[in-house]
Amino acid sequence: MVHVLDPGCDDVASANDQNALGMLGELTLALIAAGALRGEREGGAMEESLRMLLDAWGSLIGRVGQFGCPPALANGAAAVFRAYLHAGLAAVAESAFDDDDGQEEEGEAGAAALDERLSLIAPIARAAPDATLPLLRQALDAKKRALADATANGADPTTALEELWWLGRLVPHVLADAFDGEIPQPPDSLAELCARATHEERECPVDALAGEYVRLTCLCLDENARRAMSPRLMETLTWGSARWADTYLMSEDTGGSLHAAIFAHNALGGGGEGRVYRGANKAKPAAFSEAGGGAQVLDALLRAAFVCLTAWPGETGVQKAAASTLLPALTRRRALCRTCVNLPAWKQVMDAESVALAHSAAVAGAVPGQQTLHFPPEIHLGLSEALGRAAEGLNDEAQSREYIARVLAPVGQVLDAVAAAPGDMKHPAGESRAVAVIQALRGSVRATIARSQASVFSFFSQSFEALLAVQRAGAHSAQVSKLILKLTEELVANQACFLGPAHAGVLCRHCLRVVEEYRASGRGKIGATEGGSRSLRAERVKECYKEVKVMLRMLTHVTNSDNDVEDEETARGGSHRGSVLAAAAAGSAASEGRVRGGARVAAASGEALAKVDVARVVFIGLNTVIPLITDELLTFPKLCHQYFALLAHMLEAYPAKVAALPPDMFNSLMGTLEFGLKHADVEVARESLAAAGAMGSFQHHASVDGRPGLGDHNARGGGGDFGILARLMRTTLSRMIFEDAGMNLVDAAADALLPLMLVERAAFEGVAGELLAKLEGDAGAQARVMGALRELTTGNGLTDRVDRANKRRFRRNMSTFLTETRSFVRHT
């Protein structure tokens, strides 16, 4: 048996610790030697045991990582990783010719399962990087030579390809953590190794392994070597290069600020070197920094991405890895963007996107001498987003406008061609073209930054008619309809924060037209007999759910862009504040000024400058959505939360405009509000209570000021002998007293009930009488409940005002009331 600990090592605190670590190492090595990594062991007891042991190693290493790994632990980790590496390669070679390798058919789920397993061994490799990284480099080099030999000798390269594929997944896990939206940093042990290697003026194992991996990825640039590489291998290498680049490639902040200097100093030895730092430090630039070869590596990876996009037509996996994983990683930072836009390889990627779009719609735009390209729609999404984000690297406004115009021109040509031929969308090829151009537009919108925003908005404002034409012609297609709604939602979300009143009005008007087109198309309605089978109906319900949810999110973004929110003074009848989307006038184009990003937006037409009522747009949208929200759609929690959150916001922000709605629209909103008050989901109930409280507060302030408030909307009739506010109050009290409502809803219910009880005193007295009537014959219970009712309405110095102090008092009263009352009325 191989022992992990050296017998003479005394770095572990005690003999017991040494024995425990030795036993852990022996068990781990024994399981690996017994074949725990073989494919047939997956999901079995042996694999699960190895998983637990590796997790134990990770816990030990994590505890001491910040103080440096003790030699005993580092030696043990190195031995475990060495055994894991050899066993893993052997297992992959053994299963290379199996019909199902566990990844192809499982797709993303299989890759995710492998990543989870490799994430357990990565910390172990990092614990002894001086020993493990050279091992990985040697393995990469050996398997690369094995592939070259097999190709040269005409032998079967399958085994070498599978071994390289496995190594291509393992190495990125060791070198870098996954990018999860945070600024990625090199693992501590690897950063410390880089610093030591720099100080000792020797080759850094981290840089050496990374260089070997990048060279392996870039083998596809050689046409002869490319023939030996499979699309599956390139997909993994592309993914791994993206993960590595997120952490190491030009990782410095080059803003020239104090932050840049601090960031660059902290990144010494890990690739960091900003302009301020370079001015104060004359040492050799770090590997893969902007001055240390990073531009050359970036150029090589861009060329590799281009090959992945074009060399394997129909291989969606490798194309998606290049467009949606590698290119976003290469445009994540300003230094990368600044270098990208000046490289010939970037022009190749731009041309590939424009040619693929042009060929998809058979419009002019192909580059002479270039092959015909066709990308799936999702590839256009990733490509357009990366191309648009690269504008971050252009400091000059004119250059930025010119660049964005060049990126968007092919998309505009295809959009016009699709809009001009609505009949083509009745055929699958025409529908595919429409989907491709919409996805490309979504990518451009997602890439909106301050520097490019004005140019992007100018393009879209000129394309609104074409987009509406595509929506109209594609009304029969669930995919086209859903993507148009998603595009509109993302356009509002990414543009509204930059726009002045006039241009925000243009955008709001377009949203209204999109809603009206959707309503006119008749989509979203599910007939009682529609579907033909349970599975088909379920699919139709899912389509409707997606469309309705996207429309609700779009309406939510519209409300977030509006400043015409009624404060307490407005609700009392005071002056209204101006709206960002509604205050546009004929002369506002001159005051539109420079939007953030620097460029001046072209003036909108006189019609677009007309006043736009954001609340009206949203209420029209809600009136369109409400009939579509069936019981089947309400089984989707996300849709429920989205709708009631939007409803609560609208009723709180625009109570006066709610009161001015037509009766049918008002009744629809109140009907859904009553449903929400009874909903079992706590968040839905809480949002509904907030909305009911907002309506009650509005009516209370109106009564105090002598205004009509809800007026005829709150008249008796239609719902029995009670107006809408009385019904809301009765529904809330019924839920809190008789139903299984948790005490976590008490505060929200109290805030809603206080104004409702103040404006509906007679209705509340009726509820109190009904409670007492239920206790007829039990004088003691009646007396207790009567006292609780009295305490609820007068206790703790409660007054007739709806303010913060009174709400706090009423919350305490409500909690006491429910505690006193429930035990009596629930047993009658």
- The band of 519, judged by pLDDT with boundaries at 50, 70 and 90, is confident
Q: What is the pLDDT of residues 247-305, one digit of tens each?
A: 999 986 434 333 444 444 544 444 444 444 445 455 677 889 888 889 999 999 999 99
Query: Does residue 750 lie in a domain region?
Result: yes
- Give the separation between CA 98 and CA 112, rounded to whole angstroms: 20
Query: Does residue 53 lie in a domain region?
Result: no
Looking at 139-153, 369-383, 498-512, which range is the least confident one? 369-383
Q: Do 398 and 492 lie in a common domain?
A: no
The pLDDT assigned to 580 comes to 34
Burial class (CB in 10 A: 0-12, 13-18, 19+), 572: middle
Q: Is 250 left (phi over 0), alpha (psi -120 to 50) or beta?
A: left
Kindly state the helix (H) or strand (E) to which residue 265 belongs, with its residue range.
helix 258-266
Q: 541 pLDDT exceeds 50? A: yes
Kindly state the helix (H) or strand (E) to which residue 520 belongs, with its residue range.
helix 501-521
- Give the separation between CA 486 and CA 268, rounded to whole angstroms: 43
Q: What is the pLDDT of residues 604-642, one digit of tens each?
A: 444 444 456 788 888 888 888 888 888 778 888 999 999
End-to-end CA distance of the chain: 75
Q: What is the pLDDT of residues 73-91, one digit of tens each?
A: 999 999 999 999 999 999 9
Q: Do 413 and 495 lie in a common domain?
A: no
Q: 531 pLDDT exceeds 60? A: no
The pLDDT assigned to 721 comes to 66
Q: Do 516 and 585 lie in a common domain?
A: yes
Query: Does residue 490 lie in a domain region?
Result: yes
Cα–chain center distance at 685? 26
Q: Do 482 and 391 lie in a common domain?
A: no
- The band of 471, judged by pLDDT with boundaries at 50, 70 and 90, is very high
Query: Does residue 370 lie in a domain region?
Result: yes
Query: Does residue 182 lie in a domain region?
Result: no
Q: Which carries the bigger pLDDT value, residue 99 or residue 553?
A: 553
Q: Choose the final residue of a domain: 406, 423, 453.
A: 453
What is the pTM assigned to this prediction?
0.83
The pLDDT assigned to 626 comes to 86
- The band of 585, judged by pLDDT with boundaries at 50, 70 and 90, is very low
- Give the separation between CA 70 and CA 21, rounded to whole angstroms: 12
Q: Which carries the bigger pLDDT value, residue 403 or residue 110?
A: 403
Q: Do 544 and 685 lie in a common domain?
A: no
Query: Does residue 157 lie in a domain region?
Result: no
- Give the separation between CA 144 and CA 597, rounded to whole angstroms: 47
- The band of 340, judged by pLDDT with boundaries at 50, 70 and 90, is very high
Q: Choose the final residue of a domain: 572, 605, 635.
A: 635
Q: What share of the chain is helix, strand, coil (3-state, %, to 5)?
A: 70, 0, 30
Query: Does residue 264 lie in a domain region?
Result: no
Calculate mean pLDDT across residues 436-452: 95
Q: Do 558 and 512 lie in a common domain?
A: yes
CB contact set of 668 (below 8 Å; sequence gap of 6+): 622, 623, 626, 627
From 201, 181, 302, 322, select the one nearest 250 (Cα to Cα).
Answer: 302
Q: Do 543 and 418 lie in a common domain?
A: no
Query: Does residue 495 lie in a domain region?
Result: yes
- Give the separation between CA 277 and CA 264, rounded to whole angstroms: 6
Looking at 96-100, 657-661, 705-709, which range is the least confident one? 96-100
Provide the angle, in degrees to the nearest 10, between the axes of the packed helices 158-175 and 231-248.
Answer: 20
Q: What is the pLDDT of residues 809-820, one digit of tens each?
A: 999 999 999 988
From 168, 153, 170, 163, select the one nearest 96 (Cα to Cα).
Answer: 163
Q: What is the pLDDT of residues 749-766, one digit of tens each?
A: 999 999 999 999 999 999
Calculate mean pLDDT across residues 302-325: 95
Residue 520: Cβ within 10 Å count: 12
- Give the separation between CA 602 and CA 716, rounded to whole angstroms: 53
Please give the mean pLDDT across all residues of the chain: 84
Q: Do 486 and 537 lie in a common domain?
A: yes
- The band of 586, judged by pLDDT with boundaries at 50, 70 and 90, is very low
230-235: which pairs have CB atoms within 8 A and are 24 or more residues apart? Answer: 230/161, 231/312, 231/315, 231/317, 231/318, 232/104, 232/161, 232/165, 232/317, 232/318, 233/161, 233/164, 233/165, 233/168, 234/308, 234/312, 234/318, 234/321, 235/308, 235/315, 235/317, 235/318, 235/321
Q: What is the pLDDT of residues 227-251, one digit of tens each?
A: 889 999 999 999 999 999 999 999 8
For residue 694, give its domain range: 679-828
Q: Do 503 and 628 lie in a common domain?
A: yes
Residue type, 381: L
Beta bridge partners of 600: 594
Provide the angle, in degrees to the nearest 10, between the axes of the packed helices 663-677 and 682-705.
Answer: 130
Give Cα separations from 740 to 47, 251, 673, 679, 681 (angstroms).
45, 55, 19, 11, 12
Q: Do 489 and 449 lie in a common domain?
A: no
Q: Do 752 and 806 lie in a common domain?
A: yes
- The band of 209, judged by pLDDT with boundaries at 50, 70 and 90, is very high
- Give the separation between CA 133 and CA 355, rounded to whole angstroms: 42
The total domain count for the chain is 3
Q: Choose the final residue of a domain: 576, 609, 635.
A: 635
Q: Do 495 and 529 lie in a common domain?
A: yes
Tell me phi and psi for residue 401, to 5 degrees.
-60, -45
